[in-house]
Amino acid sequence: MRIIGQLTIIATVGFAGTFFAGLLPFPFPGSIMGMLLLFLMMTLRIVKTEHVRESAQFFLTYMAAFFIVPTVTLIEKVGMLDGRSLFHFIWICIASAFLTFLATAASVKLTLRLLHRSSGDKS
Protein backbone atom coordinates (compact mmCIF):
# COMPACT_ATOMS: atom_id res chain seq x y z
CA MET A 1 0.00 0.00 0.00
CA ARG A 2 2.80 2.37 0.89
CA ILE A 3 4.76 1.79 -2.34
CA ILE A 4 1.68 2.07 -4.54
CA GLY A 5 0.86 5.36 -2.82
CA GLN A 6 4.38 6.63 -3.46
CA LEU A 7 4.24 5.60 -7.13
CA THR A 8 0.87 7.32 -7.45
CA ILE A 9 2.34 10.59 -6.19
CA ILE A 10 5.36 10.34 -8.53
CA ALA A 11 3.21 9.49 -11.55
CA THR A 12 0.67 12.23 -10.80
CA VAL A 13 3.32 14.90 -10.31
CA GLY A 14 5.03 13.66 -13.50
CA PHE A 15 1.77 13.94 -15.41
CA ALA A 16 1.15 17.41 -14.00
CA GLY A 17 4.67 18.25 -15.25
CA THR A 18 3.74 17.17 -18.76
CA PHE A 19 0.55 19.22 -18.55
CA PHE A 20 2.26 22.43 -17.38
CA ALA A 21 5.19 21.98 -19.79
CA GLY A 22 2.63 21.86 -22.60
CA LEU A 23 1.23 25.23 -21.55
CA LEU A 24 4.59 26.97 -22.10
CA PRO A 25 5.04 28.84 -25.39
CA PHE A 26 8.31 26.97 -26.08
CA PRO A 27 9.18 23.24 -26.03
CA PHE A 28 10.04 22.14 -22.49
CA PRO A 29 10.60 18.55 -21.29
CA GLY A 30 7.70 17.32 -19.14
CA SER A 31 9.93 15.19 -16.93
CA ILE A 32 12.04 18.21 -15.98
CA MET A 33 8.90 20.21 -15.26
CA GLY A 34 7.78 17.27 -13.10
CA MET A 35 11.12 17.41 -11.28
CA LEU A 36 10.72 21.14 -10.62
CA LEU A 37 7.11 20.65 -9.48
CA LEU A 38 8.07 17.87 -7.08
CA PHE A 39 10.89 20.02 -5.72
CA LEU A 40 8.48 22.94 -5.25
CA MET A 41 5.89 20.73 -3.55
CA MET A 42 8.53 19.34 -1.18
CA THR A 43 9.76 22.84 -0.37
CA LEU A 44 6.18 23.90 0.40
CA ARG A 45 5.77 20.66 2.43
CA ILE A 46 2.79 19.54 0.35
CA VAL A 47 4.78 16.36 -0.36
CA LYS A 48 7.00 15.09 2.43
CA THR A 49 10.09 12.95 1.93
CA GLU A 50 8.42 9.96 3.60
CA HIS A 51 5.59 10.15 1.05
CA VAL A 52 7.99 9.14 -1.74
CA ARG A 53 11.16 7.89 -0.01
CA GLU A 54 11.48 4.19 -0.97
CA SER A 55 10.23 4.56 -4.54
CA ALA A 56 12.37 7.63 -5.22
CA GLN A 57 15.36 5.81 -3.77
CA PHE A 58 14.71 2.90 -6.13
CA PHE A 59 14.46 5.14 -9.20
CA LEU A 60 17.54 7.15 -8.24
CA THR A 61 19.70 4.11 -7.45
CA TYR A 62 18.89 2.06 -10.54
CA MET A 63 18.17 4.85 -13.03
CA ALA A 64 21.16 3.74 -15.13
CA ALA A 65 19.32 0.50 -16.02
CA PHE A 66 16.82 2.55 -18.03
CA PHE A 67 19.57 4.06 -20.22
CA ILE A 68 20.76 0.71 -21.57
CA VAL A 69 18.05 0.45 -24.22
CA PRO A 70 18.72 3.90 -25.76
CA THR A 71 22.42 2.98 -25.89
CA VAL A 72 21.76 -0.36 -27.57
CA THR A 73 19.91 1.40 -30.42
CA LEU A 74 23.42 2.54 -31.43
CA ILE A 75 23.51 -0.70 -33.45
CA GLU A 76 21.25 0.90 -36.03
CA LYS A 77 23.02 4.27 -35.96
CA VAL A 78 26.62 3.26 -36.57
CA GLY A 79 26.16 4.33 -40.20
CA MET A 80 26.07 7.96 -39.02
CA LEU A 81 29.59 7.73 -37.66
CA ASP A 82 32.50 7.21 -40.02
CA GLY A 83 35.98 7.06 -38.52
CA ARG A 84 36.62 10.76 -38.96
CA SER A 85 33.38 12.00 -37.37
CA LEU A 86 33.79 9.54 -34.52
CA PHE A 87 37.27 10.90 -33.82
CA HIS A 88 35.98 14.50 -33.79
CA PHE A 89 32.92 13.51 -31.76
CA ILE A 90 35.08 11.99 -29.02
CA TRP A 91 37.79 14.66 -28.75
CA ILE A 92 35.30 17.53 -28.81
CA CYS A 93 33.40 15.76 -26.06
CA ILE A 94 36.50 15.41 -23.88
CA ALA A 95 37.89 18.90 -24.61
CA SER A 96 34.53 20.53 -23.89
CA ALA A 97 34.17 18.50 -20.67
CA PHE A 98 37.54 19.72 -19.35
CA LEU A 99 36.73 23.32 -20.34
CA THR A 100 33.40 23.02 -18.52
CA PHE A 101 35.14 21.66 -15.42
CA LEU A 102 37.69 24.48 -15.34
CA ALA A 103 35.19 27.24 -16.14
CA THR A 104 32.87 26.03 -13.37
CA ALA A 105 35.72 25.74 -10.87
CA ALA A 106 37.01 29.22 -11.73
CA SER A 107 33.58 30.87 -11.49
CA VAL A 108 32.70 29.20 -8.17
CA LYS A 109 36.10 30.15 -6.74
CA LEU A 110 35.71 33.75 -7.87
CA THR A 111 32.14 34.00 -6.55
CA LEU A 112 33.17 32.60 -3.15
CA ARG A 113 36.04 35.10 -2.96
CA LEU A 114 33.77 38.04 -3.86
CA LEU A 115 31.15 36.92 -1.32
CA HIS A 116 33.78 36.66 1.40
CA ARG A 117 35.10 40.09 0.57
CA SER A 118 31.68 41.76 0.56
CA SER A 119 30.62 40.13 3.82
CA GLY A 120 33.90 41.36 5.28
CA ASP A 121 34.76 38.22 7.23
CA LYS A 122 37.96 36.19 6.93
CA SER A 123 40.96 37.04 4.73
In whole angstroms, give the CA distance from residue 37 to residue 114.
32
Q: Are 35 and 18 in contact (CB under 8 A)?
A: no
Q: Which of 1, 4, 77, 122 binds other proteins (CB under 8 A)?
A: 77
Subset of residues 54 to 73 that bind other proteins, contact rule: CB under 8 A:
55-57, 59-60, 62-73
83 near other proteins, judged by CB under 8 A:
no
CA-to-CA separations, 118 to 26, 50, 105, 110, 115, in angstroms, rounded: 38, 40, 20, 12, 5
Q: Which of 4, 44, 49, 122 binds other proteins (CB under 8 A)?
A: 49
Tell me how far, at minimum, the Cβ of 57 lies from other proteins, in Å.
8
Q: Could you give phi then psi for residue 121, rounded to 5 degrees? A: -95, 165
115 near other proteins, judged by CB under 8 A:
yes
25 near other proteins, judged by CB under 8 A:
no
